[in-house]
């Protein structure tokens, strides 16, 4: 039964990993130390009150998106097979 469920488990793993990686609201409420904040919250900290460096924020956004894209490209076949059962 596990080989039949492998695509669904792969899709669930991808979605859970991306959701956890992009978590924003809870860490921004709870964490006070900037060392412990995830990248999504850290990008918000880069923007200042009176100005912000657009290049630094764009570089941070690329660093935030890159791991999720890499995980998706390596597990794309599991994701697509796992989503086949959802559409009938």
Q: What is the pTM of this model?
A: 0.60
DSSP string covering 37-58, please? --HHHHHHHHS-SS---HHHHH
Over its length of 88 residues, how does the chain's per-residue pLDDT go in tens digits?
877 777 778 778 878 888 887 788 888 888 888 788 888 888 887 777 777 888 888 888 898 888 888 877 887 776 676 666 655 5
What is the Cα–Cα distance from 88 to 9, expressed in whole angstroms? 19
């Amino acid at each position: 039964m596990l080989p039949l469920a492998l695509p669904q488990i792969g899709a669930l793993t991808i979605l859970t990993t991306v959701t956890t990686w992009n978590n924003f609201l809870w860490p921004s409420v709870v964490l006070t130390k900037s060392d412990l904040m995830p990248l999504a919250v850290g990008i918000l900290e880069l923007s200042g009150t009176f100005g912000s460096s657009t290049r630094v924020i764009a570089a941070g956004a690329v660093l935030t998106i890159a791991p999720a894209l890499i995980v998706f490209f390596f597990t794309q076949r599991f994701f697509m097979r796992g989503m086949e059962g959802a559409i009938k």
